[in-house]
């Protein structure tokens, strides 16, 4: 299984680092990147529950290989908390594997590591 991630503020990048995936995870910057194996995407939630544009572009090309979503958000956004993950899960018929506040606690990182195995 491969991993892809998008990080604007550094929260998702911190999660990837803490999981020890830095060397193997594909960083999505423009959305034009491609991946050739099944993957799990790590993303942030943009605006008020929006999927980041670069993630939408990336998934438009690579979404058929998507197997699950780990999503970061901020609970202060209420119902929009981690909504990008819900949007992706619905559009690509995959599970939201984990919702995490910002860059997560140590317990979150352990739980994410368990769920992506």
The token pair that represents 23 in the structure block:
């060397």
Measured N-to-C along each axis, helices 83-92 and 53-62 cross at an angle, to the nearest 10 degrees, of 20
Q: Structure pTM?
A: 0.96
Q: Are the C-beta atoms of residues 38 and 30 closer than 8 Å to each other?
A: no
**Domain range 2-29+37-115, CATH class:** alpha beta
The string of pLDDT tens digits covering residues 53-86 is 999 999 999 999 999 999 999 999 999 999 999 9
Q: Given this model, what pLDDT does residue 76 score?
A: 92
The string of pLDDT tens digits covering residues 81-91 is 999 999 999 99
């Amino acid at each position: 299984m491969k991993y892809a991630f998008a990080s604007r503020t550094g929260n998702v990048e911190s999660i990837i680092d803490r999981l020890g995936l830095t060397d193997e995870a594909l960083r999505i910057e423009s959305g034009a990147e491609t991946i050739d194996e099944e993957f799990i995407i790590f993303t942030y939630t943009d605006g008020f529950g929006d999927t980041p544009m670069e993630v939408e572009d990336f998934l438009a090309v690579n979404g058929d290989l998507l197997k699950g979503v780990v999503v970061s958000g901020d609970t202060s956004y209420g119902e929009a908390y981690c909504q990008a993950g819900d949007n992706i899960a619905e559009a690509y018929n995959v599970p939201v594997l984990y919702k995490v506040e910002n860059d997560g606690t140590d317990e979150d990182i352990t739980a994410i590591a368990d769920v992506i195995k």
